[in-house]
Structure formats: C-alpha cells, structure tokens
C-alpha cells in the first residue's frame, strides 16, 4: 500500500474566534519581519501563478503563518458580524472565498515538512503546532458562524439550490458538528486542550520516526554485498559517500533501501540486522521511542470522542465514511483474513522447501520472507526481479503514464519552459497538462521522485492549489512524491515492479485532482475510504498491452519486453498475495482495534503482541507498519481508524476493473473510460461516493471481484 491520498492543503473555513497571540520572543516568530515576506506574496507568473519555492527560507515561515492565520480569522469574523440575514452567498460562499493567504502559505509548510525536513524545521514546527491547533479549533468552535450556517441549511431556498450547493452546505454543517461546536463550558475548553495536545504528540511521533530513519544507517564493506544487484550497490556507495563514508556502502533505514536489501542480500545475519532496525523504528526505549506517545494519543482521542457522545474514536471517525461503522469495516477485513493467512501458510511451505533444497538449515523467519519469496518466484515463474527491472526505466514509465492519461482523459503533458515554474529541489520536474483536443490548460503536474535525507518515507500526492471553479482561481497544481533510489549520475533510474505500481498509484491520485469539476474548495475534498479507489484503479493500466509494448523497453538495447517474459509476469500476478494482504490487514485490523477499545492504561507493545496472537498472525511476517512507526494511525488523523480504507477501495477497484474487462475495448474502452472520468474522477466530493459508484457501475460493488483479483477462492 502507498502512503497518503491526495491531500489538498486548502483549509476548510468553518468559524472564527481569536487565537492566542504569538510570543514575539519566540525564535519561530521573530526570525523575519512580516513586511515583504515572499511566502505571503500572491503567486505570480503563468498558469494562474505558482508557489515561489525558490524563495523559501525557514526564517520566513512562522511570520507568514501567523499573518495568514490572523487574516483568515479576520475574514471569517467579518462574516459573523455581517448585519445582513444569513444567505448562501454572504455566508457559505464567503467562507469558501476566505483564507486565500493561508492557502498560499500552507504549501510551503507542507513541502518543508514532507520533502525537505531538517532538525531546524522540526524545532520551528514544534513551536508552530500549538498555534496551528488553536487556529483550527477557533475555526471549528465558533458558535456565531455555526448559527449562520444552520440558518442557511434550514432556509426555504435550500430545495432550489443545485445538488452540489446543497452538498456544500451539508458538508460545512457536518464539519462543525463533528468538531465539537455544540460543546459548552468545561467540555468545550477540554476539547480545545485535547486538540492542542494531540497536534503536538502527532507531530512528535512523526519526527521521532524520521529521526530513527535518518540516524540508523548500516555501513557495509565490499565483502558484505553478496547477492545485491549492481545498481543497488552503486546507489548504496553514493549514499555512503554523501554521508562521508567513502569506500563503503550505506543501507539506510527506509523502505526504499530495506526492501531490496531483504530481497537480495545473501548474508542472513545482515538481513536480520537490517530487518530489526527497520521494524523497531520508534521502539528503542530512547528519546525517540513512541510507545508512551501512542498511549496518550489513544487516550485523548477516546476522551474527545466520548465528549461528543460516541462510543469510541472509530465510531466518530467512520460516521461520515462509506463504511459508516467500525463493525462494517472489520467485517470486510475479517472476511479476507482467513484466505490471506491460508495463502501465507502455503507460501511459507514453498519457501521452506527452497531453503531446505539449498541446505540452508533454517526455518523461515521474517527476515527471510522476501529473500526466499524471490527464490520461489524465480523457480516457479522463471521471473527474476532484476531481469524485470531492466525494462522498467523511470523516464519511460512516466511517458507511459502520460500516454494512459491521454487515452483515458484526453490529456497532453508538456514540460514547462525552463525557469517558468519554481521548484524546491533540482529533482523536481513540472509539466503543464492541457486538453489535447482544445489546448485548454488543465493544471500543472509536479513530480519529486527520489529519496533524500529529510524527505518523508513512502509515497504520496499533494495539492498546492485545488480545483474550484466558482471564483475563477488558477488551475490545479498537483504533486506526486516518491522515494525511488536514484541511479548513479549519467545512468537511467530503473524501478522494481513494486516501484512501478507505486508510480502509477500516485499518478491516479494526481489525475483525481486534475480531473476535478468540483465548484468549491470543500467539495473538492474526498472521503478517505473512497479516495484510494482512483489511485488503485490506475495501477491496472501498468499491465496493459500498450504500456508493456510501448514503454517497457530494455534500457540498453531498446528492445521491447519479450512476449515470454510478459507471459511470466502475468502468470505471477497473484504471486505472494498472502504476504502482501496479510501484512497490510494486520496493520489495518490493529488500527481498528486500537481505536475501538477503552485505552485506559493501554501498553502499546503488549496490546500489539496480544491482539496479533488472537488474530493468529503468522510468525514469519510482521505488520506492514508496526505500531511505533505507524504514521497513518498516529502521525495524524487522516487514516486513524481508517487504514482499512485501502481494502475498502480495493473492493471498488476490482469491481470497477471488471467493468473494463467486460467491455469490447478492454482497459481502453472509450465508453467505459468516459463514464469512469465523469462518475469516479470529476465529482470529487460534490457527489456522495456511494451514489457516484452506482452511477458508474449501475450497482454496488461486491467483494467477489477482489477475491478473484487476488487469486483467493470465491464461494459460490
């Protein structure tokens, strides 16, 4: 699974009171004057203006955020004090128009946090987090603005508004009620205190994980490299040199380095060492240990949910999701779990047989799984990951993505003229996206593909500006961010098959943002257990004939992937599904269990161990994200009690893919593609997701298609 859905950094304007004043003595505040702060400046240049990432300095950040928050709150206060009776225009649309300065500043904050983090930024971030929390709580708990929204909601004019306008009012109203606006007195004060504390804890959680990733690097000598692909060896040497370890090879404590090492390294003791370092991030009993933080986060979330009348955080969280209740989400996961673990048992038996044949004299342990799975893949399917990698050149796969987008969406991608759009790192590339038929601009697509120190691990999509047609704002600016290991200078970057899937997955999120026809910032958002659908659906085109034949070319000879290799790849499509599904489901089930129990005196280490034992977790693998580094659950709340979303979306994805399989034109069927764009991509959150899916498919999705896709048995 891949980190993060499309996160548009456009704050939802909901209410207004004053935040506590910033302390002028705080270095995070006084580092730079507000006057002439480039982070506050309107975006200029072509494409409706773009962020000045080349003018980004840490000293400007805190002053810019303070002024942006103050401006937004003042704009909202003006709405509260408007003497005219509340109306859709003077309340709802006025709220949607507010916060323009904040919309411009937050992309800088997001890039500094996710793409360019540093110890200096993290120090400033710790000081900013309480002020940001107070700002958001002030917005969500203003009774005056809420009263105006209620008046608009109850207005006799409601029925005459468009469906999207009605949904906009409904979403804003729900945003208030779900964020504690109806609490009073001590409960309201406690809610605000919980929010501030959670913001600090969640920030600290993420920074602790990043510190363990940056600080734990294994340096190898040449004699310890047996089995590792040459490209990985060269990249590791460059990583070591960059860290002043010339002549050695750096294995960094990030997934982009660990996964290939565990897959290919012959030295079992080194595999175990790397595996233990990676799986113990945030769990080392030191200053970066996250266990106490997890316990407090869970306690505070539970208390906050109960303040609002919910049984648990999960019951509050899922109320406005497609799953609606924790019970429904758990039922789906538990329906898949037995088939997944049964497949793991078979996979382990196959691997053990290979290890025995090699005379290894071992029993399969977690640090052996990827290594011996690769051996089984080679024996059973004659499919070598390194052989496959020779045809997976990053630049060509990017071209393939653009070709798919052209076929399905009618888009054309052209690199922006040099110097016309500022970027925050030389690795970042930018394309202007236009409608191929008319030349009309659709948006900009940014790609930051490579791992670097200070960059968050995993892959994600973000938006610097989202679509909103009601006020004539500029075109969407959408970014994909990955952690591929760059090739040595002058050589093409070759991806693993999993990397290629990640590339297409994140591009699906980007297309979801680019294709939006939502009129408002709020309806341009998404429902978490639905927004993975578009990304997971786009993965299916990676194995389409046009992509394989046109873009999977050998990086040295230029020859297309041989038909017999394609056949082997397709036969291996469901290989290792037990491992992939079980390690994911273990994390998703743990996430839900954490958020449905009373967390009083909960010990995360013991709870994780006990719950996995109760589930019957196979001993040969671990959760995809162990609790102390489970950022989806504890670095923020977007995926908290919501990691099941990938599976929920997987059901929709598999079912939607069968609509293409049933069509005459297959994956490139024009009629189904047009319906997909119109019903699944363009609406964003302007239409209820369940209704949107039924409009596309003509019915609700069923789990059978997912079981077929994974190669699991389907009951008649």
Question: What is the set of active-site residues?
Answer: 506
Structural contact between residues 161 and 87, judged by C-beta atoms closer than 8 angstroms? no
Residues 6+ apart with CB under 8 A from 40: 34, 64, 67, 68, 101, 104, 105
Structural contact between residues 542 and 308, judged by C-beta atoms closer than 8 angstroms? no
- Tell me the β-bridge partners of 433: 413, 443
Quickly tell me which residue has 């290594």 as its tokens: 371
Residues 6+ apart with CB under 8 A from 297: 198, 201, 202, 205, 634
Q: What secondary structure letter does DSSP report for 252?
A: -
- Tell me the β-bridge partners of 444: 432, 477
Dig out the tokens for 45 from the structure. 């240049």
How many whole angstroms separate alpha carbon 76 and alpha carbon 95? 7
Element (H, E) at 478: strand 477-484
Quickly tell me which residue has 């869970």 as its tokens: 298
Q: How far apart are the first and last CA of the chain?
A: 29
Residues 6+ apart with CB under 8 A from 498: 259
- Nearest C-alpha neighbor of 6 from the set 539, 581, 535: 535
- Tell me the β-bridge partners of 250: 219
Q: How many residues does the chain have?
A: 716
Residue 282 DSSP SS3: coil
In DSSP notation, 338-400 reads HHHHHHHHHHHHHHHHHHHHTT------GGGHHHHHHHHHHHHH---HHHHHTT-BHHHHHHH
How many whole angstroms separate alpha carbon 405 and alpha carbon 398? 11
* Strands in 335-415 per DSSP E: 411-415
How many whole angstroms separate alpha carbon 115 and alpha carbon 460? 11
How many whole angstroms separate alpha carbon 470 and alpha carbon 485? 41
């Amino acid at each position: 699974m891949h980190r993060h859905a499309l996160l548009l950094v456009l704050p939802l304007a909901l209410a207004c009171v004053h935040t506590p004043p910033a302390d002028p003595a705080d270095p995070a505040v006084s580092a730079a004057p507000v006057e002439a702060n480039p982070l506050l400046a309107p975006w200029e240049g072509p494409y409706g203006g773009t962020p000045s990432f080349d003018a980004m300095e840490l000293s400007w950040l805190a002053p810019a955020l303070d002024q942006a928050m103050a401006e937004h709150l003042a704009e909202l206060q003006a709405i509260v004090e408007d003497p005219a009776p509340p109306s859709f225009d003077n309340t709802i649309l006025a709220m949607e128009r507010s916060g323009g300065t904040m919309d411009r500043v937050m992309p800088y904050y997001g890039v500094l946090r996710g793409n360019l983090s540093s110890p200096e930024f993290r120090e400033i971030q710790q000081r900013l987090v309480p002020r940001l929390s107070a700002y958001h709580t002030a917005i969500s708990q203003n009774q005056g603005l809420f009263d105006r929204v209620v008046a608009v909601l109850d207005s006799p004019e409601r029925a005459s508004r468009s469906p999207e306008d009605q949904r906009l009012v409904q979403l804003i109203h729900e945003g208030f009620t779900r964020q504690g606006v109806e609490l009073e007195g001590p409960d309201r004060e406690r809610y605000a205190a919980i929010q501030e504390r959670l913001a600090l804890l969640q920030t600290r959680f993420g920074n602790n994980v990043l510190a363990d990733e940056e600080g734990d690097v294994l340096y190898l000598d040449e004699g310890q490299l047996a089995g590792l692909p040459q490209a990985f060896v060269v990249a590791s040497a460059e990583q070591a040199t960059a860290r002043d370890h010339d002549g050695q090879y750096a294995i960094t404590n990030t997934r982009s380095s660990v996964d290939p090492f565990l897959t290919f390294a012959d030295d079992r003791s080194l595999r175990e060492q790397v595996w233990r370092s990676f799986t113990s991030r945030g769990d080392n009993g030191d200053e970066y240990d996250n266990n106490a933080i997890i316990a407090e986060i869970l306690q505070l979330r539970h208390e906050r949910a109960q303040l609002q009348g919910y049984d648990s955080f999960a019951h509050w969280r899922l109320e406005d999701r497609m799953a609606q209740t924790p019970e429904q989400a758990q039922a789906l996961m538990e329906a898949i779990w037995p088939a997944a673990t049964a497949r793991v048992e078979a996979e382990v038996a196959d691997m053990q047989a290979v290890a025995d044949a090699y005379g290894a004299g071992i029993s399969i342990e977690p640090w052996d799984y990827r290594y011996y799975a690769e051996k089984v893949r080679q024996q059973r399917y004659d499919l070598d990951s390194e052989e496959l990698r020779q045809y997976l050149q990053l630049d060509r796969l990017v071209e393939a993505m653009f070709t798919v987008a052209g076929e399905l969406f009618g888009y054309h991608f052209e690199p922006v003229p040099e110097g016309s759009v500022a970027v925050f790192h030389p690795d970042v590339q930018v394309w202007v996206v236009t409608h191929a038929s008319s030349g009309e601009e659709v948006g900009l697509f940014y790609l930051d593909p490579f791992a670097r120190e200070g960059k968050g691990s995993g892959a994600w999509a973000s938006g610097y500006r989202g679509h909103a047609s009601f006020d004539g704002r500029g075109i969407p600016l959408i970014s994909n961010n990955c952690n591929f290991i760059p090739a040595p200078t002058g050589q093409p970057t070759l991806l693993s098959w999993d990397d290629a899937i990640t590339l297409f997955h994140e591009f699906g999120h980007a297309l979801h943002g680019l294709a939006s026809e939502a009129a408002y910032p709020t309806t341009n958002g998404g429902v978490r257990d639905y927004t993975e659908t578009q990304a997971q659906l786009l993965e299916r085109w990676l194995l389409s004939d046009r992509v394989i034949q046109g873009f999977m070319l050998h990086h040295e000879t230029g020859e297309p992937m041989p038909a017999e290799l394609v056949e082997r790849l397709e036969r291996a499509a469901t290989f290792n599904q037990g491992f992939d599904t079980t390690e994911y489901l273990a994390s998703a089930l743990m996430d839900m269990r954490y958020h449905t129990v009373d967390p009083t005196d909960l010990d995360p280490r013991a709870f994780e161990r006990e719950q996995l034992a109760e589930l019957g977790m196979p001993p040969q693998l671990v959760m995809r994200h162990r609790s102390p580094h489970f950022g989806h659950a504890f670095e923020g709340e977007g995926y908290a009690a919501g990691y099941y979303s990938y599976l929920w979306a997987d059901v929709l994805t598999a079912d939607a893919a069968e609509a293409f399989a049933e069509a005459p034109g297959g994956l490139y069927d024009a009629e189904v593609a047009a319906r997909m764009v119109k019903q699944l991509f363009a609406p964003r959150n302007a239409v209820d997701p369940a209704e949107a899916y039924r409009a596309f498919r003509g019915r609700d999705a069923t789990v059978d298609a997912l079981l077929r896709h994974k190669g699991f048995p389907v009951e008649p």
